[in-house]
A and B are shown apart, each in its own frame.
Chain A
Amino acid sequence: MEDITSLEAQLARDAGLEPGLHAVDRRARLVARTWHRNPELASALTHRGVNLGMPLEQVLVRDLVPIFAEADKRGRA
């Protein structure tokens, strides 16, 4: 079974995220950039050849940071 830490690192590299990001930033940006690539979600969101999940990346980072910040806080408690 693949190590989930290395899987996350691989996904981050594949998504073009620069190394050294804080976990909160890395995960928020990773999800904002990649969630819509899932084949089922891509099928639901693709309109006239454009995956409409992709243009939401910028606004989603703002939405997702609080989720990962809260998880990070729980992890440190």
Chain B
Amino acid sequence: MTRPRNARPAIFFCLMGYRGAERVAEALLTRADIDLVTLDPTTELLTHRGTPNESLYAYNPDDLVQRANAEALRRIGEASEAMRGGALRSNYPFLERAVVESLETTLLEALRRDLVAELVAVESLHNTAQQRDLRLLVVSEDHSRDMRALVQYARHLGIPSLQILHGVPVGPASPTFLISRTRQSRSCSISPMRMQAAWWCSPQDSSGGSSSAHRGSA
């Protein structure tokens, strides 16, 4: 996918359950000439504070969910066919037949439960990336269903992702701590020092920051 011309640079920003996320977002907007693309609950948090942001769903067609449902049904049918053909039995010959049958049932149930949401997440990022010059994904984790799907698709597009780990306090804490934690993130693909320059040394932080920033994240 080629980046759209004349689009302003944007960062996808979603720190779920991350105390102080709004301060990170506002520091990013202050320090860099970018727009923020967000996902709930971050969209709601920033909008409530009056911080400019745009939902990841903003560029989706009205019938996206309907189309994702049809696509999921088709793919679940193919997966079911593959399982009937012995895909799992050949994968795991050391498992009892009854166990494999239970696995097939459970995995198909999981697909019926989750596949539509995954398709919507990937399509939403695809639609946004066609309209906006997405430069980076900032996420608080990449193990839950939608975040992992988004990070994987961003990687496919060549867009780096940055995981800000839980437990990193957002506010006047030690930059050394931030850098050491950041280096552990396997999604991290920008220099920790650039992160520091972007928001860690913001002037308001040097005077102590807010009480919520002191409490840090969960």
Chain A residues in the interface with B (C-beta under 8 A): 4-5, 7-8, 11, 27, 31, 34-35, 37-38, 40-41, 43-45, 47-50, 52, 54-60, 63-64, 67-68, 71
- B interface secondary structure, majority: helix
In the complex, chain B residues 52-97 whose Cβ is within 8 Å of any chain A Cβ = 71, 75-76, 78-79, 81-83, 85, 87-88, 90-96
Considering only CB atoms, which chain A residue lies closest to B78 in the complex?
Answer: A44
Tell me the complex Cα distance, A44–B72, Å: 10
Whether A45 lies near B93 (C-beta < 8 A) is no
Tell me the complex Cα distance, A77–B149, Å: 41
User: Chain B 91-119 against A: per-residue CB contact (8 Å), 1 yes, 0 no?
Assistant: 11111101100110011011100110011
Chain B residues in the interface with A (C-beta under 8 A): 71, 75-76, 78-79, 81-83, 85, 87-88, 90-96, 98-99, 102-103, 106-107, 109-111, 114-115, 118-119, 122, 126, 143-149, 152-153, 156
Report the minimal beta-carbon distance from B44 to chain A, rounded to whole angstroms. Answer: 23
| A34 proximity list for chain B (CB < 8 A) | 91
Tell me the complex Cα distance, A43–B77, Å: 12
Whether A41 lies near B143 (C-beta < 8 A) is no
Considering only CB atoms, which chain A residue lies closest to B82 in the complex?
Answer: A40
Q: What 9 A-B pairs are tightest by C-beta distance, nearest first?
A: A44-B78, A40-B82, A4-B94, A55-B148, A49-B156, A55-B149, A44-B79, A38-B87, A50-B152
Whether A55 lies near B75 (C-beta < 8 A) is no
Whether A38 lies near B106 (C-beta < 8 A) is no
Whether A48 lies near B99 (C-beta < 8 A) is no
- A interface secondary structure, majority: helix
Whether B99 lies near A68 (C-beta < 8 A) is yes
| A57 proximity list for chain B (CB < 8 A) | 143, 148
11 A-B pairs (CB sep. < 8 Å):
A11-B92, A27-B95, A34-B91, A35-B88, A40-B78, A40-B85, A41-B79, A48-B126, A52-B118, A52-B149, A67-B103
Report the minimal beta-carbon distance from A24 to chain B, rounded to whole angstroms. Answer: 12
A58-B144 contact given A52-B118, A67-B102, CB 8 Å threshold? yes
| B147 proximity list for chain A (CB < 8 A) | 55
| A45 proximity list for chain B (CB < 8 A) | 75, 79, 111, 115
Considering only CB atoms, which chain B residue lies closest to A1 in the complex?
Answer: B93
| A59 proximity list for chain B (CB < 8 A) | 110, 114, 145
Considering only CB atoms, which chain A residue lies closest to B85 in the complex?
Answer: A40
Tell me the complex Cα distance, A56–B111, Å: 9
